[in-house]
Amino acid sequence: MYKNRALGIILNPAAGRGQAYSIKNRLVTYLREKNIPFHMELTKGPEEAIKIAARMSDCFDTIVAAGGDGTVNEVVSGITGRQTSIAILPIGSGNDYSKVMNMPRKLDHAIEAILNKKKKLMDLGKVIYWNQYGDKNERYFVNTLGMGLDAEIAKETMQIKYLRGLPLYLLAALKAIRKHCPNEYKIIDHNKTTTARAFLICAGNGCYEGGGFKLLPDAKADDSLLDICTLGAMSIYKALSIIPKIIAGKHGNLDEVTLWKTKKLKIEAKNSFVIHGDGEVFTQNAIRAEISIAKIKICYLTP
């Protein structure tokens, strides 16, 4: 099927605490001044970018996700299994995956990087999860998937409207740590089963999350492996005191932290838990989850 060489752009006007909408006019002006053909659609609510991306993938070689990590997640979910490349225009609050992809923050530099059409295949994560009623769901993630405190922080960010980037996630972390209780998890990695009383479990392809926390310092987005981090139960004071180490990616030697790599992981818990993928809350009442590297890779345009 013939595909249009113009850029298909999906812009989330709510990204970056609503600042993305103001960027729209600058983006349109720049593209028109440079005579770059494009077709743009704005999302109006959660998961709409999935449907738009699926439809656009029939018409465009390249789809640009203009937003944050959540927008990238939805666009990837819409094009999975299709012969379409994705590019990232980082205008969200955290933009953690764009850091992994080395995408420039400046609008004109990012567009130039996209137009160079340098392609790279990257890993895609997949999670299947069940709630206490046995309901089953499946979602993809490009950067990180978090359970427990990790996901509670993602919930808190939704309530904070006046900050962006690392300050946003630092405040959300402070609020979540005060309220979150550790859960009892059973972790099954191939034939090895361990139990842990943990604040959080994070699995991912990228090293950053939360606007700059280097939670998975050794992660590589194209090694066909998931990096895992568990943060064990500790006092609130201790949890707060190690935040600087997590930001710097220097937490691997702490007694409460375990880091490793795997292809597949199963998680079961005593109490229901929240799951986030790329900063978006997938569910608030999971009881079991299976996390893996998807068989399909995603083609990105990179600098």
**In a structure prediction context, what are the per-residue pLDDT tens digits for the chain, which is 303 residues long?**
446 678 999 999 988 777 777 888 899 999 999 999 999 999 998 899 999 999 999 999 999 999 999 999 999 999 998 989 999 999 887 889 999 999 998 888 999 999 888 999 999 999 999 998 899 999 999 999 999 888 888 888 777 777 777 787 788 888 888 878 889 999 999 889 999 999 899 999 999 988 888 999 999 999 999 999 999 988 888 888 888 999 899 999 999 999 999 999 999 998 999 999 998 889 999 999 999 999 999 999 998
Both 9 and 109 in a single domain? Answer: yes
What CATH number should be reported for the domain holding residue 179? Answer: 2.60.200.40
Determine the 3-state secondary structure of 264 from DSSP: strand
Of 73, 89, 116, which residue constitutes the final position of a domain?
116
Both 105 and 146 in a single domain? Answer: no
Both 150 and 234 in a single domain? Answer: yes
Which pTM does this prediction carry?
0.91
- The amino acid occupying position 64 is V
Residue 221 belongs to a domain? yes
Average pLDDT over the chain, rounded to an integer: 90
pLDDT of residue 187: 97
Contacts of 79 (CB under 8 A, 6+ apart): 53, 54, 57, 63, 86, 298
The pLDDT tens digits of the residues spanning 87-127 come to 999 988 788 999 999 999 888 899 999 988 899 999 999 99
Of 72, 94, 116, which residue constitutes the final position of a domain?
116
> Can you tell me the distance from the alpha carbon of 289 to that of 90, in angstroms, rounded to the nearest whole number?
30
User: With the C-alpha atoms ordered 270, 281, 146, 160, is the resulting torsion angle positive or negative?
Assistant: negative
- The amino acid occupying position 168 is L
Of 83, 99, 116, which residue constitutes the final position of a domain?
116
Find the domain containing 279 and state its range. Answer: 125-294
- How far does Cα 83 stand from its chain's mean position? 22
Helix axes 48-56, 69-79, angle to 10 degrees: 50
**DSSP category for residue 1:** -
State residue 53 phi and psi, 5-degree precision. Answer: -65, -40
Both 98 and 142 in a single domain? Answer: no
Do 215 and 229 meet the contact criterion of CB atoms below 8 Å apart?
yes
